Amino acid sequence: MNKNHIKIVTENRKARYNYFIEDTYEAGMVLLGTEVKSIRLGRINLKDSYARIKKGEVFVHQMHIGAYPFAFYDNHDPLRKRKLLLHKLEIKKLYGKVNEKGYSLIPLKVYFQNGKAKLTIALVRGKRKHDKRETIRRRDEQRDLERSKKEY
């Protein structure tokens, strides 16, 4: 069996459209048991979620993990903030960058690696309207190029 088995649960596709991705980091998450079970069922949404650094720790906000349907009591709050596990050096580097104007931390994808839930966060800079138009134009050109290759 593959030692580094990765099962992607969800991706934030809008992030690549709305932001320029400068750098990515892999982080573990501190989760409750019902949250892990819900993630395995795919009941997670990264839309509108973001990460913040507070007192030397990184937390992800607005990441919606739906309630686990088979838990009769002690279910989790779907929108609670969750702590991310990063190395101290990475946190210091991120803190310096995030304090610059225009940079943010956005979750890109959630996946399981060797049975542990991981989150990829990205250091991003927001796109303006003309940048988004450029992205759409480039994507359309690429699609047309692929179509013309298939015809021949």
Domains located in the chain, CATH noted: 8-126 (2.40.280.10)
- Output the CA torsion sign for 38, 16, 82, 57: positive
Residue-level pLDDT at 66? 85
Residue-level pLDDT at 41? 87
- Using a 10 angstrom Cβ sphere, with 0-12 exposed, 13-18 middle and 19 or more buried, the burial of residue 68 is buried
Model confidence, pTM: 0.77
Which positions of the chain have pLDDT values less than 50?
1
- Residue-wise pLDDT for 57-69, tens only, equals 999 999 888 888 8
Using DSSP bridges, classify how beta strands 19-29 and 82-85 pair: parallel, antiparallel or unpaired: antiparallel
Residue-level pLDDT at 3? 64
Residue-level pLDDT at 9? 84
Residue-level pLDDT at 106? 92
